[in-house]
Amino acid sequence: MGRGRSTLRAYGVGSGLPTDRFGRQCLLARRLVEAGVRFVELTAPVGWDHHFLLKQNLSESCAATDQPVAALLNDLKQRGLLADTLVIWAGEFGRTPYAQSGTGRDHNNKGYSIWMAGGGVRGGTRYGATDDYGHHAVEHVVPIHDWHATILHLLGLDHERLTFHYAGRDYRLTDVSGQVVQGIIA
């Protein structure tokens, strides 16, 4: 089997596979990174807003994305690109630990998991934790401005110097706060 075919299989690209659409996005992302494109955003092809039918829909979402994103991370690492490529996996919100309408979960801005890889992030690090129910963060709580400051730092930008003038005031992307989360920096 040729190298191209094995690459397509690794990404889950193939007619009728649930991984096909996202696998193509991940493969294209790898090619863009190889070509020097500095920012690439992927969007999962299936909905992650699981307000209803959580068990079924979350299973389908994971089945469509797990293999392709694993292939992307492996490919970037094998090609020596992961060290300089920041990969962030996040959704719009965290989720409540209790059911919404019996089969789903509602938005939760108090407990939110994100994973990051490469690009200066300390590999294998778990930073922070929620309470026993997963309702709210209780350990190493990272406010959104701190997370943004950390991302900007990993991209080589000082969030305190990155300002723009608007309505007679200097603003920065992290507003008036934000500390780099040193605990996840490699």
Are 126 and 161 members of one domain?
no
What is the separation of C-alpha 91 from the centre of its chain, rounded to a whole number of angstroms?
7
Are 108 and 175 members of one domain?
no
Are 120 and 37 members of one domain?
yes
pLDDT tens for 75-118 read 999 999 999 999 999 888 888 888 888 888 888 889 989 999 99
Are 126 and 151 members of one domain?
no
Are 71 and 156 members of one domain?
no
Q: pTM of the entire structure?
A: 0.88
Are 124 and 174 members of one domain?
no
- Over the Cα atoms of the chain, what is R_g? 19
Q: Which domain holds residue 61?
A: 3-141
What are the start-end ranges of the E strands in the chain? Answer: 87-89, 94-95, 107-108, 115-117, 129-130, 137-139, 163-166, 169-172
Residue 46 pLDDT greater than 80, yes or no: no
Are 134 and 148 members of one domain?
no
